[in-house]
Amino acid sequence: MNVIETANAAIEQGTTRAIDEAMKAIRARQDEVLERWQQITAGDTTASLSAPPGPERRKCLESGSPDQLAKLDEEQKLLEGERDQLRHARDRLERARQAAAKREAAETLPGDFETLSSLLEAEQAALDALEAARAKADAHIEQIRSKRRLASDLKAKPETLSRYRELRGLQPQPGGFCPGLDRVKSVSHALGVPLQ
């Protein structure tokens, strides 16, 4: 199957994946055609047989036969025809891809909305779990505060306060600002860990 047939089959199939594959094949063939065409001409993409000779045509002009020159002229015409055909196929593929992408988006969006609803529910459950975990940690800090009134010489490790601040987003900011400083001081006192 040549690339034009591949493009037609992709348009018939009507999926962005098939069209993207066909577009890739068209681009590759366009590159091949252009490279060969430039061997015959000097690469002036607006010119036809009047274009300055490329390396192969120049060689043929200098040492080839009239038949060889005629074959190059014929090949150049064929390449120019294929170039136009490929350009047309590419334009058709681009239009088909826009239509396919629009159709696929319309087909998949309802499922995407349902997935988003599920993800938001999962996010809410995670936030609820986080809130519950924070409440447990806060209650435990209060237990520690009460117990330290009886045994004030026992202190938590400094890393415990650092981890608390990290998890709660209460780290010092540039410029010395510390969000929730009163809460940090309270926890620091409860744990017996000096504020740094």
User: Whole-angstrom Cα distance, residue 183 to residue 3?
Assistant: 69
Quick one: pLDDT at residue 45?
A: 53
Which contiguous run of DSSP H or E holds residue 183?
A: helix 181-191
Quick one: pLDDT at residue 12?
A: 95
Q: To 10 degrees, what angle do helices 66-150 and 181-191 make?
A: 60
Q: What does each of the 196 residues of the chain score in pLDDT, given as a tens digit?
A: 799 999 999 999 999 999 999 999 999 999 999 999 888 885 555 555 556 778 888 888 889 899 998 898 899 999 999 999 999 999 999 999 999 999 999 999 999 999 999 999 999 999 999 999 999 999 999 898 888 888 878 888 888 888 888 888 877 777 666 777 788 888 888 888 887 6
Report field, pTM of the whole predicted structure over 0.85: no
The count of residues in the chain is: 196
Quick one: pLDDT at residue 52?
A: 72
Residue with tokens 């009163």: 182
User: Whole-angstrom Cα distance, residue 179 to residue 173?
Assistant: 8
Instruction: Please spell the DSSP secondary structure of 59-118, one letter per residue.
Output: HHHHH--HHHHHHHHHHHHHHHHHHHHHHHHHHHHHHHHHHHHHHHHHHHHHHHHHHHHH
Comparing CA positions, the residue from 31, 26, 29 lying closest to residue 7 is: 26
Quick one: pLDDT at residue 113?
A: 95
Quick one: pLDDT at residue 48?
A: 53
Quick one: pLDDT at residue 22?
A: 97
